[in-house]
Amino acid sequence: MLTYVNHQRELHYKITQLINEQQIKEAESLLSDYEELYGETEETLSMKAITRIIQGNLFESQLLLERGTIDFPNSADMYFNLGYVYSMQADSVRAMEAYCKGRLLDQNAKVSFADLVKTPISSPSSLRVLHGTMEIANQMNELTRGLNHLGVCAETVNYYPNYLNYRSDNVFDLNSLPESQRIKRTRDLAAQFISSYDIFHFHFGTSLTQENADLPLIKELKKKVYMHHWGSDVRLISRALKLNPYSRVKTTNEQEIMRHLEFLSRFIDSSIVADWELYEYVKDFYKKIYLIPQAINTDLYIPKPQQKKKRFLIVHAPTSPEIKGTQYIIKAIDTLKLNYQLDFKLVQGISHSEAMKIYQQADLIIDQILLGSYGLFALEAMSMGKPVICWLTDFMLSKYPADLPLISANPDNIRDVLENILKNRDMLIPLGQRGRDYVVKYHDYRAVAKKLLSLYQSA
């Protein structure tokens, strides 16, 4: 066995030496002998490709290396060599993709491909922006819609589609793949996207690969990257309770949240949040933090005259009932039903378009009574001209615009607030009209996109 291995190594050394000495015919002859004895290996395929490069036969070298990436998909060197061939053929896009695949396989490889990175011109039409990889409350869709409206080439990629069925330019359902295939799939997608876009706007702590292996590469390439946090990905219960005694969180493991934030901020300098509450959780991690409000397409939410009916309809649509205070809402309504004619609809587990039809029928919508700030559901309801109940802390009220027309309620007073509304229903129509005006003024996707584009174009 030792003689076999030694002979194999000796042949390999001789072939390498012949190639270095430009003795290509001799090297090819010895390669043929090697493969007759030991079969084709990753090393021999690469060496055959190198001989074709030296001979000036780039196309044949390309074919060999492309086959090599199929036969040896975990070979970083195969991708690096292929990237070199593409660059020799002036195919910078495919060269960059191949180099990225190699680097994602071997992050310690000392291979430079900075020459392939083009500094984007700051004019909107020249920018290529990618949002990914988790859709939160339709925000990727709305933000890219607004950027497209301004002439920016902006697209979305969603790895985690769900029953809400929000639109996305690229959908790759990772949960439909076996675990063994997810890493390779995301690495291939990452290489493709990194080579094609200038700015990366990530959401909810996700990036292009499951293990965030793309982040060091994007930083190395000096491409702009932002991490947009939305709530449960950063909310720390110890800090939340200082601002809001009713606060709830989905993730109670604060160390896990902070470790992830520390990791992300090593490679990403800039974070985006929607409000000052979320700012409190990320302020100690990122170098720069920007406030960009939630975006909504107000054109899709046309207020309709509310017809008077005997029974008052209240609608609540919690994605996370324990976070939104659903149990307290239901308890309050059950009590009020004893003395008032009212109906209650709990909207869960249906598509966004189907849910919208129910919202239009509501006389009153309850967003949440625990979190202390408003979210997209409140904005959708206000866009329809619906009055909305939503718990707002004093801290957040001091930060929001003074013309915010939400009705604030918490678990301690939700029954009383609802009863006051039932006794004074005439207050609701003007409140709904003011809500519509508020959303158009502060949250229309076109206005929000202008702020975002200004951020992208800044140094």
User: Which domains are present in the chain?
Assistant: 2-109 (1.25.40.10), 124-295+447-457 (3.40.50.2000), 298-443 (3.40.50.2000)
- DSSP SS3 for 290: strand
- What is the pLDDT, as a whole number, of residue 295? 98
Please tell me the distance from the alpha carbon of residue 431 to that of residue 305, in angstroms, as a whole number. Answer: 14
Bond before 133 cis per omega within 30 degrees: yes
State the DSSP string of 141-176.
HHHHHHHHHTT-EEEEEES---TT----SEE--GGG
Instruction: Name the stretches of the chain with pLDDT < 50.
Output: 1-2
- What is the pLDDT, as a whole number, of residue 57? 94
Please tell me the distance from the alpha carbon of residue 29 to that of residue 265, in angstroms, as a whole number. Answer: 53
- What is the pLDDT, as a whole number, of residue 82? 95
pLDDT tens by residue, 262-320: 999 999 999 999 999 999 999 999 999 999 999 999 999 989 877 777 799 999 999 89
- What is the pLDDT, as a whole number, of residue 35? 86
- What is the pLDDT, as a whole number, of residue 4? 60
Is 0.75 topped by the overall pTM? Answer: yes
Q: Is the alpha carbon torsion for 35, 41, 44, 50 positive or negative? A: positive
Q: Is the alpha carbon torsion for 227, 153, 135, 392 positive or negative? A: positive
Residue with tokens 């009590």: 335
